[in-house]
Chains A and B, each alone.
Chain A
Amino acid sequence: MSYSKMVIPNRSNHEWRYTPWEKIHPSKVETVPAIKSARVQLNGKQIEAQSVRDYDSNAEISRMFLQETNNSMHSITIDESQDCNFVEIESDESQVVCHVHITVESSTALQIIFKGNCNWFGIHITSDIKANSNLIVGILNDLSKECKLLRCEDWNIHRDSHLTYGELSIGGGYAKSDIRTTLSGSNAGLIQSIAVITEEKRHDDHHIEILHKSGHTNSSLTVNSSCSDRGHAIGTGLLMIEENCDGTDAGQVFKNLLLSDRARAESLPELEVLSDDVSAAHGAASSPIDENQLHYLMARGFTPKHAKSLIVEGFLVSSFSKISDDNVRLFLLDSLNKHLNQNLED
């Protein structure tokens, strides 16, 4: 199967209900343009695209499209030699695509940032977290407002390994992220915390799949979205527990804070459970800003704008409380503060 033979998904597929494929495609939907690769730096050193990735003929449409636009790959292996590794993926080209494969064989931390002034940014991150490893990763999407982002991630966590994943999504005016994690070995664990800000006309669609393929695995997903102006936040989650996965403990929570009359939020936390001795739960909540909190802060001298900003900060900061690595947590918190302060100055 190649992209040209694939059926364009329609809205009945919940993954594409709010962000049609036609809108996230960089040109005409039937074409596959050849697109240059972005610059990738690891700890300040440029990494060249070394290898040609294996063609996956069973990939879903966005992964298939990304691999056909550019099939080179940046391979990164991270170890304990640094306290925290820093990967920067950047470009100012009109359209850019990038594939990064991360291999983790020890306990380490990693910060990833996407930035640049391109019009369309396609990124595919794949990762193998080998047995007995531990990765704490913080991802910052800080692309320009004009940029469209198509992002796919595939994380594979092997036995006795753990991934702590934090993300702050503030960049790219129209962003579609498809993040899939497989817990393939027993005792694998995942903590995933995502904070989203949609303001002005920003559209942010996160599709998050977590697949438990082995027993005694655990996962926890939290997505906190703050929506203001005409922002539109979408969170679709699919938590799957396969057969013979007894002892699995999984949960996902989507929370939306709606700050304006024209802001919108959609949450679809889905569960598919095929094992009986498991604990699986999900929750979703949408609510306005708490007037009592606002009143409390304003009574202490904050302007309404500042008080709102503080409440939003508190709401989003709580997403990152489970990130145990100080470097990664501070990286996300500083970026969040900087963004909110910038908005206050504007």
Chain B
Amino acid sequence: MSDEAMNAVGDYRYGFHDPENATIRFDKGLSEKVVRDISKLKDEPEWMTEMRVKAYHHFVSRPMPDWGNCNMLESIDFDNVTYFLRSSNRTENDWDEVPDDIKNTFNRLGIPEAEQKWLGGVTAQYESEAVYHSIREDLEEQGVIFLDMDSGLKEHPELVKKFFGTVIPYADNKFSALNTAVWSGGSFIYVPKGVHVEMPVQAYFRINAKNMGQFERTLIIVDEGSSLHYVEGCTAPTYSTDSLHSAVVELIAMKDAKIRYSTVQNWSANVYNLVTKRGVAHENAVVEWVDGNIGSKLTMKYPAVVLKGEGAHAEVISVAYAGEGQHQDAGAKVHHLAPNTTSNILSKSISKNGGRSSYRGLLKVNPMAHGCRSKVVCDALMLDEDSRSDTYPTMEVSNSTADLEHEASVSKISGNQLFYLMSRGFSEEEAMGLIVNGFFEPFTRELPMEYAVELNKLLELEMEGSIG
């Protein structure tokens, strides 16, 4: 990387970019023609094209949300976004077949190495489509389907048609409509009955081009008595102009199934990250979101779980780090629809250098949800006087047997803790770094080891220069 590029990237390690070698690139801007062209290019069935078009019209007619960071939302220029860019003509299952420049990028991100060591399968998406995909043979033999979403639609059209958009319909919100209209890439996973996928499967999303929009669509169905751990990572180069990431993730956990979805979002500070994630848990099923938000300019993401079956459980652990110019508007939503359902939400956030972190949550108990229990804990740390922390929780209870708790606190780093560590020889900066790592520990301990180490490194990097 040149010195100039190095300066532009600053502390963000993944801010490098490669020359664009697109095989197909659509003109900027969105229209019905663009939507139909994406569908035609992918040779999709008629029902998908029609759903895309309906979603496009809904997106156009629906106003921007009038809550959250309205100023930042209004500054998104949808006409200056590239909605489809194909970098490679095929999805390969051998890294040697992936074009060199793209392969180098993923090598620098450590994906092939991680795949060999501890993953059950990998999808690597570059711009709009997956460029690499593989799954361990033993999982394939057990009937596990792990494909990029485009291949999933081609190879299992009936299964996709049955579940696509059932958890998050296109009319759910403006950005789910946008995603449904122009989606490309993402993961499609089906785990058959009674299969436990022991090693996590991973998807890695990389935006490389300027003013790029990435709209991956993920659909995960885990059948009765099965389990899956899915890990997602994402980065982008640092540009002076903005990019848009608007994904939709739908999880379906059938009776007695378990899904854990772990994300560490580390987009560069020029990316708008407006994501809709929701899971449905049937009888005695468990859906867990482990959600880390470190990067992006504006994140609006509230992983949700609909507890539809009796005895279902939801777990959401989320952390957010908001540095200079960043607004992390994150949270969690849980809908208790069935009796004896339970949920735990733990949210931790740090604001520094004028950053803003907001927790926005919803806990809803329907009249039929007898005996449900839920606990929500939100803790916020503010590291300087220029930063801001908000909490916007909502509890709606329509059943008299529900037992719900919510607690939140906002504070600065304790002087006693700092003093204790500094009196044992740590510099103030090191001491703050340790305290921040400890603050996030309930989150990092839920991550696979490699991710946890990476996250701690990232946080140390973000904490550099935080004193004085």
Residues of A within 8 A of B (CB): 10, 12-14, 227, 243-244, 246, 256, 258-288
Contact = CB atoms under 8 A, between A and B. Distances in A.
A273 B382 contact: yes
A261 B410 contact: no
Contacts of B397: 256, 258, 264-266, 286
B410 A268 contact: no
A309 to B, nearest CB: 16
Interface stretch (B15-23, B98-106, B225-233, B384-392): B384-392
B404 A268 contact: no
Contact of A272 (B382, B387, B388): B388
Given A273-B388, A276-B384, A264 B398 contact: yes
B410 A271 contact: yes
B461 interface: no
Interface in B46-103: 65-67
Given A281-B409, A282-B408, A268 B393 contact: yes
Interface string B394-405: 111111111111
Given A12-B66, A12-B67, A276-B382, A283 B400 contact: no
Contacts of B42: none
Contacts of A279: 409-411
B383 interface: yes
A173 B316 CA distance: 39
Given A281-B409, A281-B410, A286 B395 contact: yes
A268 B391 CA distance: 10
Contact of B403 (A10, A282, A288): A288
A268 B367 CA distance: 19
4 closest pairs, A vs B, by CB?
A: A258-B400, A276-B382, A271-B391, A284-B406
B402 A268 contact: no
Contact of A259 (B384, B388, B400, B405): B400
Contact of B400 (A261, A268, A271): A261
Contacts of B156: none
Nearest to B361: A268
Nearest to B356: A274
A277 B410 CA distance: 9
B404 A286 contact: yes
A278 B406 contact: no
B392 to A, nearest CB: 5
B406 A269 contact: yes
B407 interface: yes
Main SS at interface, chain A:
strand
A261 B367 contact: yes
Interface residues of B, number: 36
B412 interface: yes
Given A276-B387, A281-B407, A268 B401 contact: no
Contacts of B402: 258, 286-288
23 contacts: A13-B66, A13-B67, A14-B394, A260-B400, A266-B396, A266-B397, A269-B391, A270-B391, A271-B391, A272-B388, A273-B389, A273-B410, A280-B409, A280-B411, A281-B407, A281-B410, A282-B407, A284-B405, A284-B407, A285-B406, A286-B365, A286-B403, A288-B401
A277 B367 CA distance: 42
Contacts of B389: 271, 273
Interface string B408-439: 11111000000000000000000000000000
A84 to B, nearest CB: 36
B401 A285 contact: no
B392 A270 contact: yes
Nearest to B382: A276
Interface of B: 65-67, 365, 367, 380, 382-385, 387-412
B345 to A, nearest CB: 13
Contacts of A269: 391, 393, 406, 408
Contacts of B398: 264
A104 B397 CA distance: 40
A263 B401 CA distance: 11
Contact of B395 (A261, A284, A288): A284
Contacts of A282: 391, 393, 406-408
A228 to B, nearest CB: 9
A256 B402 CA distance: 11
A30 B67 CA distance: 25
A280 B391 CA distance: 11
Contacts of A258: 397, 399-402
Nearest to B406: A284
Contacts of B392: 14, 268, 270
Contacts of B365: 286
A266 B400 contact: no
Nearest to B413: A276
Contact of A273 (B65, B380, B384, B404): B380
A274 B394 CA distance: 21
Contacts of B408: 269, 271, 281-283
Contacts of A268: 392-395
Contacts of B409: 279-281
A213 to B, nearest CB: 16
A255 B392 CA distance: 17
A243 B385 contact: yes
A155 B405 CA distance: 30
A146 to B, nearest CB: 25
Contacts of A287: 402-404
Given A14-B394, A267-B393, 6 more contacts: A268-B392, A273-B410, A276-B382, A278-B410, A278-B411, A281-B407
A336 to B, nearest CB: 21
B48 to A, nearest CB: 31
B390 A271 contact: yes
Contacts of B405: 283-285
Nearest to A240: B390
A225 to B, nearest CB: 11
B328 to A, nearest CB: 15
B272 to A, nearest CB: 20
Nearest to A282: B408
Nearest to A258: B400
A228 B67 CA distance: 33
Contact of A284 (B384, B390, B393, B399): B393
B412 A280 contact: no
A12 B64 CA distance: 12
Nearest to A257: B400
A270 B389 CA distance: 11
